[in-house]
Amino acid sequence: MKNLSGTITKEIDIKSTSGDITFANRMDHFMARLGVNRNGHLIAPGLYALGKPAKDSPVFASANYTLSFDALRSALSGIDAYILVLDTRGINVWCAAGKGTFGTDEIVRRIETVKLHDVVSHRILIVPQLGATGVSAQEVRARSGFKLEFGPVRASDLPEYLKTHQATEEMRRVRFTLLDRIVLIPVEMNYILIPMLIVSVILSLVGSYTAAAAAITVILSGVVLFPILLPWIPTTDFSTKGFIIGGLMALSFAMNAFYGMMSEALWLRSGWALTYMLTMPPVTAFLALNFTGSTTFTSVIGVKREIFTYVPKMAWMFGIGIILVIVLSLLKISGGM
């Protein structure tokens, strides 16, 4: 890049980008959604030129997570603009803002590093609304001279937003649609798949295939069924929602145990049925509670209350259930049944 006063001003490093999403980009997004190489979906922080921006072109801030950056540049396709990519260590805007990496300090530092004052003639930086959790507009202005404009929550609303620079109520609201919840399932599965397989293999070797099936059922109920059904399960607490889903699943196993071994004594059939009712629901409830971090609306104090209220109950239920399994198994062995 040639600069008129080139001898004095250091060359400004501006990378170029486009609004096109290539096949390689799509593959990268797919892998990110699967949770493969979770922290590896990043691009270099710095200033990017989209199209052929001039001194008066708008500047947008983004995270250096490929899904964030690509959503922004594709939404801005056909618009000449600069994109200021912050170093959020490959984390999306909202999570990074919560951690403080998409924050006041990083914005001020990045503005200086890329010499934004020399690149554009205006002093306006458009920041995604969800970045506000980590960014103080007043402080950025005081320290860098740049006035922040909080754009819409979703990059896809930007073309509409840019017409008036006013976001509608709808653009300012975060959502958590069925599709939003479904795309999270592979990442949740990614964490639990191996433990689930190990547990079910052990259970089918030392216990029964039914026990292995019960383990797979509770885990899938917690990480697949629960996110899908979330808004439709009665009660507000995630744990109680999980208890409901897990309880319904356990019921079918309990019925199967109760009516499946009619030759056994009533107390033995009831005992085995009870083991399912005690061990299965708390597992689903715990997995459901762990989904709070993936949602867009749970408060800190609420989640804290849930942990204190339900986690001890889950542990007790599960513990008593396991003891009952052991006692019944010992009786079975000793009785030669």
Which of 83, 95, 220, 257 binds other proteins (CB under 8 A)? It is 95
CB 47 within 8 A of CB 15: yes
Q: Which is nearer to other proteins, 68 or 240 (CB)?
A: 240
* 292 scored as a contact of other proteins (CB under 8 A): yes
How far apart are CB 35 and other proteins at their closest, in Å? 10
Interface with other proteins, residue 222, by CB under 8 A: no
Residue 56 or 169 having the CB closest to other proteins: 169
302 binds other proteins (CB under 8 A): yes
CB of 275 to other proteins, least distance (A): 25
Number of residues that bind other proteins (CB under 8 A): 54
The single residue among 25, 133, 204, 329 that binds other proteins, judged by CB under 8 A, is: 133
- The dihedrals phi and psi of 19, each to the nearest 5 degrees, come to -90, 5
Please give the Cα distance from 43 to 63 (Å, whole number): 9
Q: Site map for other proteins, 63-92, x if CB under 8 A? A: ------------------------x-xxx-
- Given the structure tokens 């749970």, which residue do they identify? 298
SS (H, E, C) 254-284: HHHHHHHCCCCCHHHHHHHHHHHHHHHHHHH
Chain positions 4 to 33 lying near other proteins, rule: CB under 8 A, are: 13
* E strand or H helix that includes residue 49: strand 46-50
- Residue 86: enclosing H or E segment and its boundaries? strand 81-86
> Residue 184 or residue 213: which is nearer to other proteins going by CB?
184
164 binds other proteins (CB under 8 A): no
Query: According to CB under 8 A, which one of 120, 146, 306, 321 is a site residue for other proteins?
Result: 306
233-271 burial: b if 16+ Cβ within 10 Å, else e: beeebbbbbbbbbbbebbeebbebbbeeeeebeeebbeb
Min dist CB 269 to other proteins, Å, is 32
Residues 30-49: x where in contact with other proteins by CB under 8 A, - otherwise, as a string:
--------xx----------
Do 291 and 188 meet the contact criterion of CB atoms below 8 Å apart?
yes
Check residue 297 for interaction with other proteins (CB under 8 A): yes
Q: 148: which strand partners?
A: 125
Cβ nearer to other proteins, comparing 236 with 263: 236
Helical segments of the chain, H only:
23-34, 66-75, 93-99, 104-113, 116-119, 137-144, 158-164, 169-172, 178-182, 185-206, 209-220, 226-229, 238-260, 266-290, 300-334
Q: What residue ranges bind other proteins (CB under 8 A)?
A: 13, 38-39, 87, 89-91, 95, 97-99, 113, 129-130, 132-138, 150, 153, 167, 169, 172-174, 234-238, 240, 289-290, 292-307, 309, 311
